[in-house]
Amino acid sequence: MSTSNASTTEVSGRSILLDQVTKRYPGQAKAAVDGLTLEIPAGKIVMLVGPSGCGKTTTLKMINRLIEPTEGRIVLGDEDVTSISGDELRRRIGYVVQGAALFPHQTVAQNIATVPKLLGWSKERIAARVDELLELVSLDPNTYRHRFPRELSGGQQQRIGVARALAADPPVLIMDEPFGAVDPITRQRLQEELLRIQEELQKTIVIVTHDFDEAVKLGDWIVVFREGGRIVQYDTPERILADPADEFVENFIGSGAGLKQLTLTRVRDVELADAVTGAAGTPAAELLKRAREAGHNHAVVLDGQRRPLRWPSLRRLSRMDLLPAERDDEMPVVAPTASLQDALDTMLVSSAGAAIVTGRRGEFAGVITVEVIMDAITRARESAAEVAEDAPIGLNTEAIAVVSGDPS
């Protein structure tokens, strides 16, 4: 679940409406997407999931008309874009594909500049925009702007793919399996980054994924399709996990719905446990005494900016003279934006069975423990039972006929 903070940032995304859209490929008996009406709210992330061949990619590519619908309308904001020039439409919709598909003989800067160049921006404006976007996707402009795609890791290429899609500041971003080609750790990092970028930019983002956990993690809303682009459920991740529409969705979620709930809550949303802290360079005995008094097994050593340096057990502390100033790189640390699942992963490999949480500037914020997580799950389950009032529309044409009795 992406937790976009709409109160502090202006929504720059525009809503999308697929209005009774059908796609029939030549020579195919059945429609790939059949009478689909799908409303995608402005500034939200909507995930398209479902079994192979159910029409996810076809649906996605009809949004920017890389695939032309056989019937129906595409509406962007208030504008019917069904018949405008496809090229013009695609300049307003950033498109990211699996493996990034960068132009191999162009530098990073040239790749990112593709659409701004087409739009006739000045050289200076393009150069400034390239650097701004590299910063946004956490790549140092001086190091990367002149590199070629082959000189980048898979994760870096994917970041450039996102930067290129965002270059002309389009209101809408569509992504087809954007993180499908990278290893799990890089994928997790890219997902975190997308959420951070989205918090800042508030675009309307539609993402096709095979990975249900990814859908839960990134989506404000998830569409579960079956064959023919038929919507089985269009709901929040919480509701899909807590109340799947039918057996098909249940099977699709797979086992461990309870564990998946952990991906829905972020560390910053839970009440953390406290810890006893001491400054590097001060006597260890003093910290040991306070930790014992508090009944803790560990204590946190902080630097001058209150950033954690190490997290010794009381036994180790008792063997120290002054609190050391070197940072222990093995220390289990999680960011406030991490999901509880990520926090749990970190905790399980830590000898403390818990993890340190740091704030935005790396400062010590508290400790996350198993008890903290259990408490958060209980609360999340209680609130998931409520039906969202602002639910967008998602249905197929026959569904309208059944509801209204109108066969048209």
Ligand X SMILES: Nc1ncnc2c1ncn2[C@@H]1O[C@H](COP(=O)(O)OP(=O)(O)OP(=O)(O)O)[C@@H](O)[C@H]1O
SS3 (DSSP) at 278: strand
Using the minimum distance from each CB to ligand X, give the nearer residue, 366 or 394. 394
Using the minimum distance from each CB to ligand X, give the nearer residue, 52 or 378. 52
Site for ligand X in 31-50 (CB under 6 A): 32, 50
Nearest distance in Å: CB 52, ligand X:
3
Using the minimum distance from each CB to ligand X, give the nearer residue, 12 or 70. 70
Query: Which residue in the set 7, 28, 122, 408 belongs to the binding site for ligand X (CB under 6 A)?
Result: 28
d(CA 6, CA 200): 10
**Is the Cβ–Cβ distance between 78 and 121 less than 8 Å?**
no
Residue 29 makes contact with ligand X by CB under 6 A = no
SS3 (DSSP) at 298: strand
**Is the Cβ–Cβ distance between 234 and 390 less than 8 Å?**
no
d(CA 19, CA 35): 8
- List the beta bridge partners of residue 74: 18
Q: Which two tokens stand for residue 6?
A: 């709409």
Q: Which stretch binds ligand X (CB under 6 A): 53-61, 129-137, 159-167, 216-224?
A: 53-61
Query: Which residue in the set 1, 45, 46, 54 belongs to the binding site for ligand X (CB under 6 A)?
Result: 54
Size of the site for ligand X (CB under 6 A): 11
Detail the DSSP E strand segments found in 321-393.
333-334, 355-358, 364-368
Query: Which residue in the set 14, 56, 92, 203 belongs to the binding site for ligand X (CB under 6 A)?
Result: 56
φ, ψ at 80 (rounded to 5°): -75, 115
Using the minimum distance from each CB to ligand X, give the nearer residue, 56 or 217. 56
CA dihedral 228, 229, 235, 236 (to 10 degrees): 120
Using the minimum distance from each CB to ligand X, give the nearer residue, 66 or 384. 66
Query: Which residue in the set 8, 10, 29, 52 belongs to the binding site for ligand X (CB under 6 A)?
Result: 52
Residue environment code for 217-254, b if the CB has 16+ CB neighbours within 10 A, otherwise e = bbbbbbbbbbebbbbbbbbbbbbbbbebeeeebeebbe
Nearest distance in Å: CB 252, ligand X:
12
Using the minimum distance from each CB to ligand X, give the nearer residue, 77 or 180. 180
Nearest distance in Å: CB 67, ligand X:
8
**Is the Cβ–Cβ distance between 224 and 49 less than 8 Å?**
yes
Site for ligand X in 57-86 (CB under 6 A): 57-58
Nearest distance in Å: CB 53, ligand X:
4
Q: Which stretch binds ligand X (CB under 6 A): 37-45, 56-64, 134-142, 194-202?
A: 56-64
Residues forming the site for ligand X (CB under 6 A): 25, 28, 32, 50, 52-58
